[in-house]
Amino acid sequence: MKPLPIALAVICFVIAALYLAGVLQIGASHGGRHISHAALFGALGVLALVWGRFASAPATRRP
């Protein structure tokens, strides 16, 4: 798997964890834990891993 998608996924998961723990408050309308923000960055992290999977797989020929 290529390093850029992995780095991006790690960053997203760290941001998700920080929102979930209530440490990160950027873009939040109130204090405390932010489950929606955490879920968003968790999903973006998963998508980054999918991108990495696609980028590392050998290209297939179109019929």
Partner 1 sequence: MVLAVLQGASELFPVSSLGHTVLIPAMLRWNFDRSDPTFLAYVVALHLGTAIALVVFYRSDWGRIVRALTASVVRGNLSSDVDERIGWLLVVGTVPVAIVGVFLEKPVRQFFGSSAIVAGFLILNAFVMFAGEALRRRSLAAGTGTAVTPLGQLSWGDGGRIGFAQAAALFPGISRSGTSIVAGLLLRLSHEDAARYSFLLATPVIVAASVLEIPKLLEPDAHAVLMQAIVGGVLAAITAYASVTFLTRWFHSHDLRPFGWYCLIVGIIALGLALAKVIT
Contact at 8 Å (CB) between 45 and 13?
A: yes
- AA letter at 56: S
* Phi and psi torsions of 61, nearest 5°: -80, 135
* 2 near partner 1, rule: CB under 8 A: no
Residue of 4, 7, 21, 35 that binds partner 1 (CB under 8 A): 35
Return the structure tokens found at 22.
Answer: 């209530």
CB of 30 to partner 1, least distance (A): 8
- Residues near partner 1 (CB under 8 A) are 27, 29, 35-37, 39-40, 43-44, 47, 50, 53-54, 56-57, 59-60, 62-63
